[in-house]
């Protein structure tokens, strides 16, 4: 029963975080001149259009990843006009950055909530940390233990999504951000290069292998900022 409740909390957090990510992409594209995602109904916090577009990534894979590893990962997508992106590579890069930025914003809010909870003795640092329990409630009953777990999951999940999506390999958002550092001509050549479907498949495989090595030190840094001097490792 407890695993079911934790799984439900993870799925609610996953769906909320993923919808925020994709809606941010879609809104940024709209503001920057591409109405494709807007016309597809993606500029919304309603999860239904996002789930309908990617049912495997938003339902099947998250459930399977939780059953296998105890945490969730998956994907969704917001459509965009490739010709617009090629013509405006800098705008396309800002659109790509919008999704991870949304995840970073959610993570930051959870960080603040945990720190405020510690300050008011509502939360305390648990002896052992994991992605589902970054903070614990001083109260043993009521809503506070549930809230502590949900905030913990939102923090961990959005840190995962932020880091993973910014790995600069196609088809991840990090590869789409690169044109911000390039001149217009080079950016267009680069975008033509990374949109090869074979590179996207290879990029995902490499990113998945790199993720643990990249995530662990950033995770420890985040924990040290959350609990200065506690010596978690």
Positions annotated as catalytic residues are 22
The helix (run of H) or strand (run of E) holding residue 124 is strand 123-124
Strand pairing class (123-124; 136-137): antiparallel
Burial 123-154 (b: 16+ CB within 10 A, else e): beebeebebbbbbbbeeeeeebeebbbbbbbb
Which distant-in-sequence residues (6+ apart) come within 8 Å of 131 by Cβ? 70, 71, 152, 153, 156, 157, 160
Question: Which tokens sit at 174?
Answer: 């990090």
Which distant-in-sequence residues (6+ apart) come within 8 Å of 46 by Cβ? 19
> Which residues lie across from 137 on neighbouring strands?
123
Return d(Cα 118, Cα 17) in angstroms, integer. Answer: 24
Question: Which tokens sit at 104?
Answer: 């970073």
The CA-based angle 97-24-94, given to 5 degrees, is 30
């Amino acid at each position: 029963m407890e695993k079911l409740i934790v799984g439900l909390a993870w799925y609610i957090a996953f769906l909320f975080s993923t919808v925020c990510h994709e809606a941010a992409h879609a809104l940024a594209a709209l503001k920057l001149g591409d109405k494709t995602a807007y016309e597809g109904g993606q500029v919304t916090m309603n999860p239904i259009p996002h789930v309908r577009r990617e049912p495997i990534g938003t339902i099947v894979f998250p459930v399977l990843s939780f059953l296998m590893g105890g945490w969730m990962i998956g994907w969704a997508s917001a459509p965009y006009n490739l010709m617009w992106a090629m013509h405006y590579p800098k705008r396309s890069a800002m659109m790509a950055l919008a999704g991870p930025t949304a995840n970073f914003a959610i993570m930051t809010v959870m960080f603040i909530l945990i720190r405020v909870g510690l300050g008011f003795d509502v939360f305390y640092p648990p002896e052992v940390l994991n992605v589902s329990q970054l903070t614990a409630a001083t109260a043993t009953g009521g809503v506070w233990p549930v809230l502590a777990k949900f905030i913990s999951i939102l923090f961990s999940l959005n840190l995962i999504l932020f880091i993973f999506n910014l790995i600069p390999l196609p088809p991840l958002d990090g590869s789409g951000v690169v044109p911000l550092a390039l001149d217009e001509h080079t950016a267009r050549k680069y975008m033509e290069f990374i949109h090869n479907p074979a590179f996207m498949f290879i990029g995902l495989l490499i990113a998945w292998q790199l993720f643990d090595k990249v995530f662990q030190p950033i995770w420890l840094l985040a924990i040290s900022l959350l609990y200065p001097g506690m010596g978690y490792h």
